[in-house]
Structure 1
């Protein structure tokens, strides 16, 4: 879909599970998007609490997964760096 943001056209793909049935090219619809990220948008009629929460939670989940992977990588590196003690 293409919509204007600050007078400039922005194109965004609708997320999976969007109920856009019955809409044709050129139809006008209300759109919601994350401030600063207009490429991540949903149809306003399709934005129940779950849709909006998912739209906002995906970046947070990706950040937490990256932090966990980094912590696991650092943890493995520290174990390898310890000297071996002989008995």
Structure 2
């Protein structure tokens, strides 16, 4: 079994209204010094098999087809 984590974030230059709302909420709760907040999403997956190369290729295909909107989002894949 291969365990993997996919992290999806907005590309630089893409507006992040949710991140901005979180930034303002943190300030209103008294957390000062937070310069910028960017939000994203994380997927933890378990894949059958032991071939890490094949798993990485499959994970990238999953991201390109479903998990990330590659027009506005970047993703990273880490296999453990």
TM-score range, shorter chain: under 0.3
| Normalised TM-score (structure 1) | 0.20
Structure number with the higher helix fraction is 1
TM-score (normalised: structure 2): 0.21
> Which of 1 and 2 has higher RCO (CA within 8 Å, sep 6+)?
2
